[in-house]
Amino acid sequence: MSQAAISIENISKAYKIGLETKHDSFKSVALDFLKNPRKRFQSRFGDAEEDAEDTYWALKDVSFEVNRGEVVGLIGRNGAGKSTLLKVLSRIVEPTSGRAVMRGRVSSLLEVGTGFHPELTGRENIYLNGAILGMKRDEIKRKFDQIVEFSEVGKFLDTQVKRYSSGMYVRLAFSVAAHLDPEIMIVDEVLAVGDQAFQQKCLGKMGDVMRQGRTIVFVSHSMDNIAALCNTVIHMKKGRPSPKLTMEEGVRSYLDEASASDNLPLDQKPRTQAVKHDPIFYRLATRTEAGESVTVPVGGSVTFDVSMRGFSDVPGNLTLGIGLSNVRGQRVALFHSEYHQGKTFRGADDMTLSCIVPNLPLAPGSYSIDLVLADGFNMIERVERAGALEVLFTDYFGTGKLPTGKQSNLILPCSFSN
């Protein structure tokens, strides 16, 4: 008998395209029914059919084993199937075919604070969330003080969580989850929350869990977190997993894949959308004093022209964020229409926004440009690696030398004296 904590054998998961976003209505059912009575009746009231044309395989023949005590990082681009795999392993969605065996008590943490109710107090939510995550009442009672201490919200325990700051909310929610006592833990990118200090604390807690010999499957976009926690990496591409890789190999493979799509025109690049929609971002141009260019000297000025189309149906006060990330996938700068200038805009059929950055003090190196269209905190469309920008060495300080991208992200002036 296999000793592996998790054995996954040929798991596949198919989605009917459009199924996630298009809710059934009586009208559509009635129309479908008229078109093809028998088949449609079965598909509506029974099981989804397999139909090669409009089927999208989020996971295709995924097989691997995770040994007891192993910490596996799942990496991959958006839509590669990482989250779907976690949902299958957490029993939230069912595989279309294949089989997985989980040997041990499983806890999954795909979202921080699932089931938290804003009207309830911190104390009440600890009990409620604990129960939803699968803890018994006695267990929650026993760990209550630890949870409160870890969360640092002791003073506000009897305050409704709707009055909490978002940081406090996240800390409390993570603390409950961190005190689960599972043998197998399935964690989506929930560490990317809270302030830096709390993130460190969470990573520390994950590390403790690891050292106790728990098995962890962990999704992250942050190569830093992956490097800190995982001993094995699996790189998901289009629903298929890579063989198990070491940390080094995994990160390299991920970065290689990320640059492979850079040659596609922007309107064909993979993107994440909250609600399925035709691509909105379709053109990104970078301009410097020298005209359209993808290179800019350290400290130089650069303008981003972002063109969007066909989103007049998107409601809300929209904001545009332009993020720059370095080769390690670390975000180093964000230019945001609302944060920087308090500007929001409405959906339109076609519009181009220009963002002028007078001085870009980044270390020499390659940077990718991420675009995010959002309504407040609700992301509408996000394209990672929508474009690239190469920051070139220039004799910025007149010394002929500069910190490298490894030594410093930013090139800031200073003076030394004694």
Going along 193-315, which residue ranges are E strands? 215-219, 232-237, 240-241, 272-273, 281-288, 291-292, 295-297, 302-309
Which listed residue (17, 32, 33, 48) binds another protein by CB under 8 A? Answer: 48
Q: Does 380 bind another protein (CB under 8 A)?
A: no
Stretch that binds another protein, among 38-46, 144-152, 262-270, 380-388 (CB under 8 A): 38-46
CB nearer to another protein: pick between 78 and 293: 78
Which listed residue (31, 54, 136, 356) binds another protein by CB under 8 A? Answer: 136
CA distances, 365 to each of 291, 293, 296, 301 (Å): 20, 15, 10, 16
CB nearer to another protein: pick between 113 and 347: 113
Which residues are CB-neighbours of 150 under 8 A, at least 6 positions away?
Answer: 175, 178, 179, 201, 205
Least separation in angstroms between residue 34's CB and another protein is 17
Considering only residues 83 to 122 of the shown chain, the ones binding another protein according to CB under 8 A are: 87-106, 108, 110-111, 114-115, 117, 119-120
3 state SS of 125: helix
Considering only residues 157 to 176 of the shown chain, the ones binding another protein according to CB under 8 A are: 160
Considering only residues 251 to 310 of the shown chain, the ones binding another protein according to CB under 8 A are: none
CB nearer to another protein: pick between 125 and 253: 125
User: Given its phi and psi angles, is residue 133 left (phi above 0), alpha (psi -120 to 50 degrees) or beta?
Assistant: alpha
CB nearer to another protein: pick between 31 and 356: 31
Which listed residue (17, 56, 131, 336) binds another protein by CB under 8 A? Answer: 131
- Residue 24: CB atoms within 10 A of its CB come to 10
Which residues are CB-neighbours of 364 under 8 A, at least 6 positions away?
Answer: 298, 391, 392, 393, 402, 404, 405
In terms of Cβ atoms closer than 10 Å to its own Cβ (0-12, 13-18, 19+), residue 364 is middle
Location of structure tokens 């050292």: 211
d(CA 275, CA 17): 13
Applying CB under 8 A, which residues contact another protein? 1-5, 11, 13-15, 19-20, 23-27, 29, 39, 42-44, 46-50, 68, 87-106, 108, 110-111, 114-115, 117, 119-120, 124, 127-128, 131-134, 136-137, 160, 183
